[in-house]
């Protein structure tokens, strides 16, 4: 069989030197991306080396079965490949010019077909030494999947074999943002070497549908009727047509050192025992045909929010799921239970959903704020709680305190103006509680929902939308918005309660250090006395007698 590249772009990609560890091919639908990846081990004659191992991946097994495996049979058998259906493996024991002297008798080069449907799926390849990683439709992977396999499994113990990553993809999907940042932004039209950390080099070879002379015209015509943003992305390879993952900063595990992130860049953590005195907030995003999701959050003295429990039901009545929640409410006594505002709507029934939940839990619940703009505001607030990079603090000349200016602010702007003036002379406090949101690793529904958030597609006017597009399974995302809104209100409005929480935490830490029960008792009494003084009733009407 004779196979030739169909375009100059394919030729450039297949001829890239091994000094470039990473390369990405494509940019739109239809330039022959998958076939180019499949043929790379053949064209480069890597299959002549019995110790060679390649891993070709798609996100799901269904994609491999429907598209990749049938085409591989047409290509690989002609070059001496034998397919092992059970292991999804091609072995090249009959490859022309194969050097059998460098491996056991009968062994051949191997090309594995794999799927990486979930992030933990990467561990299926922990025992492999991969010479060539071929992630097809790279934009369907998370950055973690790509980095983990590409920088922990791709290596070579043979001087005859490379350690390379050669991927292909186009705009869109969950990986859009990181792929764009890694390969496209430094060179939007490609063919420019990008210098990464630790001497790592990568390149993007741009190619579109127009490069493929064998393209199905019916398929090409079908792209013309797509919405403008999708057409620009899929036909012309425009990576700016729409953005993908919203919460790019979200980390459910530490990325490889090559990324160069802060050690605290982690949002998913192992569970620990939440102290009883930490305030707790429950949120309920209710549904019947859709999901009912219940999230439990705790507020720490460092103003960090921990999501420590989630529960979910589908097609389940309130009276069936509410007893599980009621048991927890009675044990933990959360300071607030928030329910989606839609639960208060009159649906023509005797009681609203809110009233039904009140009765089932034996406690009143509060409705969320679903005012115009609240979805975008909630998205912005979640960004702030996920932030793990400290804010930049500008260095400027220290202003000299002036008592007259302070009093002028007090007279003209009251206590608020006076406090704002005094704040100018406070030293900036280093943020040591980042990120301010962490999630127990058992809460997989919430974790997956945050990772799946993508932006709404631009309208007909081409203006980019700021809101998160609705999707099946987005109930936990709505829930975390309600949770953080309530936590933020708590920090702003419950100053004295939060100060008590911090004082309580300080006493506990000091006791853990000295194990002095007398100290613990005295401090606890002092804290209770201070709390009583804070809530002492004010005598509004006091009788004064002239005969006293």
- What confidence tens digit (pLDDT) does each residue in 162-177 have? 999 999 999 988 888 8
User: E-assigned strands of 435-508?
Assistant: 437-440
pLDDT at 176: 87
Q: Given pLDDT bands bounded at 50, 70 and 90, which one contains residue 537?
A: very low
7, 31 in Cβ contact below 8 A? yes
Three-state DSSP class for residue 295: strand
Compute the 3-state secondary structure of the chain and give helix, strand, coil in percent, each to the nearest 5: 40, 15, 45
Give the tokens for residue 517: 């029960």
H or E, element range at 527: helix 517-534
Q: What's the whole-number mean pLDDT along residues 462-467?
A: 65
- For the stretch 87-96, pLDDT in tens is 999 999 865 5
What are the residue ranges spanned by the domains of the chain? 8-244, 269-386+434-493, 400-427, 497-534
Residue 200: exposure state from Cβ atoms within 10 A (0-12, 13-18, ≥19): middle
Q: CA 220 to CA 26: how far, in whole Å?
A: 16
pLDDT at 470: 86
Q: Given pLDDT bands bounded at 50, 70 and 90, which one contains residue 157?
A: very high
Q: CA 231 to CA 242: how far, in whole Å?
A: 11
Sequence-ordered list of residues with C-beta below 8 angstroms from that of 128, at least 6 positions apart, any chain: 53, 55, 112, 153
Q: What's the whole-number mean pLDDT along residues 219-239?
A: 80
Q: What's the whole-number mean pLDDT along residues 212-216?
A: 86
pLDDT over threshold 50, residue 540: no
pLDDT at 55: 98
pLDDT over threshold 60, residue 156: yes
- Per-position b or e across 361-384, b if 16+ CB within 10 A of its CB: beeebebbeeeeebbeebbebbee
- Render 314-339 in DSSP notation, one character per residue: ES--HHHHHHHHHHHHHHH--SEEEE
H or E, element range at 206: strand 201-207
149, 55 in Cβ contact below 8 A? yes
Q: CA 139 to CA 28: how far, in whole Å?
A: 12
- For the stretch 1-11, pLDDT in tens is 789 999 999 99
193, 20 in Cβ contact below 8 A? yes
Instruction: Say which CATH topology domain 269-386+434-493 has.
Output: Nucleotidyltransferase; domain 5 (3.30.420)
pTM above 0.75, yes or no: no
pLDDT over threshold 80, residue 267: yes
Provide, rounded to the nearest whole percent, the portion of the chain with pLDDT above 70.
81
pLDDT over threshold 90, residue 207: yes
pLDDT at 517: 64
Q: What's the whole-number mean pLDDT along residues 104-124?
A: 85
Three-state DSSP class for residue 103: coil
Q: Which of 88, 109, 181, 188 is nearest to 138 (CA)?
A: 181
269-386+434-493 and 8-244 share a CATH fold: no
- For the stretch 342-361, pLDDT in tens is 898 877 778 899 999 999 99
The average confidence (pLDDT) of the chain is 84
Q: CA 321 to CA 360: how far, in whole Å?
A: 9
Beta bridge pairs of residue 284? 294, 339
pLDDT over threshold 60, residue 36: yes
Q: Which CATH number describes the domain made up of 8-244?
A: 3.40.50.300
Supply φ then ψ for residue 134, to 5 degrees.
-120, 75
57, 114 in Cβ contact below 8 A? yes
H or E, element range at 306: strand 305-314
pLDDT over threshold 70, residue 280: yes
Q: Given pLDDT bands bounded at 50, 70 and 90, which one contains residue 243?
A: low
Q: Given pLDDT bands bounded at 50, 70 and 90, which one contains residue 103?
A: very low
Helices marked H in 44-87 — which ranges? 61-63, 69-76
């Amino acid at each position: 069989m004779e196979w030739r590249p169909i375009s100059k772009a394919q030729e450039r990609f297949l001829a890239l030197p091994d000094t470039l560890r990473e390369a990405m091919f494509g940019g739109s639908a239809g330039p022959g991306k998958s076939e180019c990846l499949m043929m790379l081990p053949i064209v480069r004659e890597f299959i002549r080396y019995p110790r060679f191992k390649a891993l070709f991946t798609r996100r799901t097994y269904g994609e491999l079965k429907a598209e990749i495996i049938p085409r591989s049979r047409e290509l690989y058998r002609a070059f001496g490949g034998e397919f092992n259906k059970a292991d999804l493996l091609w072995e090249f024991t009959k490859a022309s010019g194969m050097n059998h002297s460098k491996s056991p008798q009968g062994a051949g080069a191997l090309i594995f077909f794999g799927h990486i449907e979930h992030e933990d799926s990467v561990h299926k390849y922990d025992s492999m030494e991969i010479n060539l990683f071929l992630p097809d439709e790279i934009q369907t992977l998370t950055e973690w999947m790509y980095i983990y396999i590409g920088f922990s499994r791709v290596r070579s113990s043979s001087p005859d074999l490379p350690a390379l990553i050669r991927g292909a993809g186009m705009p869109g999907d969950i990986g859009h943002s990181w792929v764009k940042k890694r390969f496209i932004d430094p060179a939007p039209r490609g063919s420019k070497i990008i210098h990464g950390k630790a001497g790592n080099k990568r390149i993007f070879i741009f190619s579109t549908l127009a490069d493929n002379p064998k393209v199905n015209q019916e398929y090409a015509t079908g792209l013309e009727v797509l919405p403008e943003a999708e057409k620009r992305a899929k036909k012309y390879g425009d990576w700016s047509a729409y953005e993908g993952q919203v919460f790019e900063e979200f980390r459910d595990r530490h990325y490889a050192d090559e990324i160069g992130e802060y050690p605290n860049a982690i949002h998913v953590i192992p569970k620990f025992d939440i102290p009883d005195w930490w305030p707790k907030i429950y949120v309920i995003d209710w549904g019947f045909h859709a999901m009912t999701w219940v999230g439990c959050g705790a507020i720490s003295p460092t103003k960090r929010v921990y999501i420590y429990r989630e529960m979910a039901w589908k097609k389940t009545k309130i009276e069936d799921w509410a007893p599980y929640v009621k048991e927890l409410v009675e044990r933990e006594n959360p300071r607030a239970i928030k329910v989606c505002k839609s639960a208060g709507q009159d649906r023509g029934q005797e009681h609203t959903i809110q009233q039904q939940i009140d009765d089932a839990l034996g406690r009143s619940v509060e409705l969320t704020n679903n005012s115009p703009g609240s979805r975008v505001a909630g998205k912005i607030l979640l960004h702030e709680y996920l932030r793990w990079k400290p804010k930049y603090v500008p260095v400027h000349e220290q202003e000299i305190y002036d008592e007259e200016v302070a009093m002028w602010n007090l007279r003209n702007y009251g206590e608020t103006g006076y406090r704002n003036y005094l704040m100018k002379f406070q030293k900036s406090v280093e943020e040591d509680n980042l990120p301010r949101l962490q999630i127990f690793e058992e809460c997989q529904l919430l974790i997956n929902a945050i990772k799946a958030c993508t932006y709404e597609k631009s309208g007909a006017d081409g203006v980019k939308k700021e809101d998160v597009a609705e999707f099946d399974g987005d109930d936990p995302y709505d829930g975390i918005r309600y949770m953080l809104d309530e936590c933020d209100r708590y920090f702003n409005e419950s100053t004295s309660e939060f100060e008590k929480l911090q004082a309580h935490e300080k006493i506990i830490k000091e006791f853990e250090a000295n194990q002095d029960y007398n100290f613990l008792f005295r401090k606890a009494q002092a804290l209770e006395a201070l709390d009583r003084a804070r809530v002492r009733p004010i005598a509004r009407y006091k009788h004064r007698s002239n005969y006293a």
